[in-house]
Chains A and B, each alone.
Chain A
Amino acid sequence: MTQPWSPAPASGTAVPARREPANLADILERVLDKGIVIAGDIRVNLLDVELLTIRLRLLIASVDRAKEMGIDWWEHDPTLSSSAHDLADENRRLRERIGELEPGHEHKPGGELPASARNGHRVPRDEPAVRVGAFPDER
């Protein structure tokens, strides 16, 4: 990950030398969620920011598909290009997550997701309660 003014290990100087392209997650976080909100004349209902961000990550994960579409901006985004080896796995997990989020969005645009959508696929992992049955000799 390129860090615009990351710690300089040897010299100890830390002032950013120059501005580098910001990563997309940082930009989205700011343009979608920060900045002054003024009610304009045209009401645009932005999707839930989390959903937008996840969809974006999903697209990024689908590198081959995106390349077919002629989109290659991530090549210039060090945050994204450095994690290529995790993409297949992340892709799968994001698809599951989108499955959870989308129904909630359709019913309540921009609002809270229904509990069912949020909890839908939660997998109990490593819970002691799950293991008790596997070790019946507990006294």
Chain B
Amino acid sequence: MSGYATWVYAVTRDLRPDALSEVAGVAGEPVRTVTGHGLTAVIGSVDAEQFGEEGFERRLADPAELAAIARAHHGVVEAVSAAQAALPLRLATVYRDDDRVRDMLGQRRGDFAATLTWLAGRAEYGVKVWADLQELSVTGDEPPAAAGGPSGSRQGAGAAYLSRRRAQLSARDRRRQAAAEGGAAIHTALSALAAAGRQHPPQDIPLPGDHDRPGDGQPELMVLNGAYLVEPGSLPQFSHAAQSAVSARPGFRLELTGPWPPYSFAGGPEGTA
């Protein structure tokens, strides 16, 4: 048994020979290809022990190693994708040898070919939208009459506190609701301008204490973390629509990223990948 295993980065059709000359793989290895069934898999040879089950899981648990491996994997996928429509493979798809990769190409060739055709000429763009809950314009936000005023004189301090608190909570709920609705509306509008759209989970990871109340401690909520498959010709229109939708909503902020390899669309038109 050889000391090497085969790491798979992406599947594509023909690739220019020089497309991979500038990149190195996750183990620093030169990146090469294996072809079969009309498809090309972009691969690299990695140490079978270092990238075997046990050692590799340990390495991935180390954030610095994970970051380096993720960036290297992405770097190769990006280089392939810049040259030719490509299907990115999820991190850590490893085969015993090149022949096993060729077998895999044969088994999946129908899906792969169809998805590559669908993806051709299109690129993934990321749209992230945040809402600053304090700056949202929401109707019905006025606080109730101040406690301690003439009308509140018969209320105890506790009751006044509670009613104030209740009003605050429901105002915040309304703001959260408005933020979420804004995010959903932007997603719908952008999906209509794209070949496909997918929503990813928001990146603001809940931390202790704000787990069930996002937006409590941090006024900015991520209300959309979307990915869109866009044709180059409609990119200006798409980008303009994203900006208009966000600037029409006070308190909303936009970040656009891309072009990305079509990670979010590698499962094809019906896929959820």
A1-27 vs B, CB cutoff 8 Å, 1 = contact: the mask equals 101111100000111100100111111
Known: A25-B203, A42-B95, A54-B205. A31 touches B74 (CB 8 A): yes
Q: Are B73 and A31 in contact (CB under 8 A)?
A: yes
What separation, in Å, do the CA atoms of A89 and B42 have in the docked complex?
42
Q: Are A126 and B88 in contact (CB under 8 A)?
A: no
Q: Are A30 and B74 in contact (CB under 8 A)?
A: yes
Q: Does B209 contact A (CB under 8 A)?
A: yes
Query: Whole-angstrom distance from the CB of B127 to the nearest CB of chain A?
Result: 10
Q: Are A31 and B208 in contact (CB under 8 A)?
A: no
Q: Are A32 and B166 in contact (CB under 8 A)?
A: no
Query: Whole-angstrom distance from the CB of A78 to the nearest CB of chain B?
Result: 11
Q: Does A59 contact B (CB under 8 A)?
A: yes
Known: A40-B94, A56-B67. A128 touches B165 (CB 8 A): yes
Known: A31-B91, A137-B157. A47 touches B61 (CB 8 A): yes
Interface of A, helix, strand, loop or mixed by DSSP: loop
Known: A14-B243, A41-B5, A131-B165. A6 touches B100 (CB 8 A): no
Q: Give the chain B neighbours of A137 by CB distance below 8 A.
A: 156-159
Interface of B, helix, strand, loop or mixed by DSSP: mixed
A108-131 vs B, CB cutoff 8 Å, 1 = contact: the mask equals 000000000011111101101001
- Which A89-106 residues sit within 8 Å CB-CB of chain B? 93-94, 96-97, 100
- Which of B95, B156, B162, B200 is the one whose CB lies under 8 Å from A29? B200
Query: Whole-angstrom distance from the CB of B107 to the nearest CB of chain A?
Result: 9
Q: Are A46 and B162 in contact (CB under 8 A)?
A: no
Q: Give the chain B neighbours of A14 by CB distance below 8 A.
A: 236, 239-240, 243, 256
Query: Whole-angstrom distance from the CB of B6 to the nearest CB of chain A?
Result: 9
Query: Whole-angstrom distance from the CB of A106 to the nearest CB of chain B?
Result: 12
Residues of A within 8 A of B (CB): 1, 3-7, 13-16, 19, 22-38, 40-47, 50, 52-60, 66, 69, 71, 73, 93-94, 96-97, 100, 118-123, 125-126, 128, 131-132, 134-139
Residues of B within 8 A of A (CB): 5, 8, 11, 51-53, 56-57, 60-61, 63-64, 66-68, 70-71, 73-74, 77, 87-96, 100, 104, 108, 126, 156-159, 161-162, 165-166, 200, 203, 205, 207-209, 211-213, 216, 227, 235-236, 239-240, 243, 246-247, 254-260, 263-264, 266-267, 273
Beyond contacts A22-B74, A94-B207: 15 other A-B pairs, Cβ-Cβ < 8 A, are A1-B255, A15-B236, A16-B258, A28-B66, A32-B70, A33-B90, A34-B273, A37-B273, A40-B92, A40-B95, A42-B94, A44-B92, A44-B94, A135-B162, A139-B156
